[in-house]
C-alpha cells in the first residue's frame, strides 16, 4: 500500500498476529484521542499529541522508524489523519477481498458436497431374486 507517497507492505489480514498488532495499535490511537483534554492546552500541543498517536500506530504496525519514512519531520494533523485513514481503508479493502475469496471457496466446497459422485461402473450386475 502507498501511504503519503511511501510504499508500505500490505497488512496480512489473514494472519492473526498481524491483525492483533494492527488492532492493538488502532485501539491505542482511539484511546489517545479520547484522553485528549483540550482545556488549557495550546493548539500546537493538541496537534502534536494527535500526530504522536498516529506516529506510534505506524511504528507499531509497520516497524520502528516508519513514522519518519512516511512523515519525515512534519507534524501536520491533516497529513497524519489522512495517512491513518488510508491505512484503515486499505485494511478494510483487503479484508473484504479476503472475505469474498473465502466465500467463493466455501461455496465451491459446499457445491461439491451436494453433487453425486460419478459412477464409473455403469454396467453393474443386478441381483435377481432367488427362485425355488
Q: How do residues 23-73 score in pLDDT, each as one tens digit? A: 999 999 999 999 998 899 999 999 999 999 999 999 999 999 999 999 999
Position 126 in a domain: no
User: How many alpha carbons lie under 13 Å from residue 132 in its C-beta half-sphere?
Assistant: 0
Position 88 in a domain: yes
Position 110 in a domain: no
Q: How far apart are CA 91 and CA 3, in angstroms?
A: 12
Q: How far apart are CA 86 and CA 57, in angstroms?
A: 13
pTM of the model: 0.75
- 49-60: b or e for each residue (b if 16 or more CB lie within 10 Å)? bbbebbbebbbb
Q: What is the extent of the structural domain holding 80?
A: 13-26+43-93
Decide: helix, strand or coil at residue 2.
strand
Number of separate domains in the chain: 1
Work out the pLDDT band at 124, boundaries 50, 70, 90: low
Amino acid at each position: 500500500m502507498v501511504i503519503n507517497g511511501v510504499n508500505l507492505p500490505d497488512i496480512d489480514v489473514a494472519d492473526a498476529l498481524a491483525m492483533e498488532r494492527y488492532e492493538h495499535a488502532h485501539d491505542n490511537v482511539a484511546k489517545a484521542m479520547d484522553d485528549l483534554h483540550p482545556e488549557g492546552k495550546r493548539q500546537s500541543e493538541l496537534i502534536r499529541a494527535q500526530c504522536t498517536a498516529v506516529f506510534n500506530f505506524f511504528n507499531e504496525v509497520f516497524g520502528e522508524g516508519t513514522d519518519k519514512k512516511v512523515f519525515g519531520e512534519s507534524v501536520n494533523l491533516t497529513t497524519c489523519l489522512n495517512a491513518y485513514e488510508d491505512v484503515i481503508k486499505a485494511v478494510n479493502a483487503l479484508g473484504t477481498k479476503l472475505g469474498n475469496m473465502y466465500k467463493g471457496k466455501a461455496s465451491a466446497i459446499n457445491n461439491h458436497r451436494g453433487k453425486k459422485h460419478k459412477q464409473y461402473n455403469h454396467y453393474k450386475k443386478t441381483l435377481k431374486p432367488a427362485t425355488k
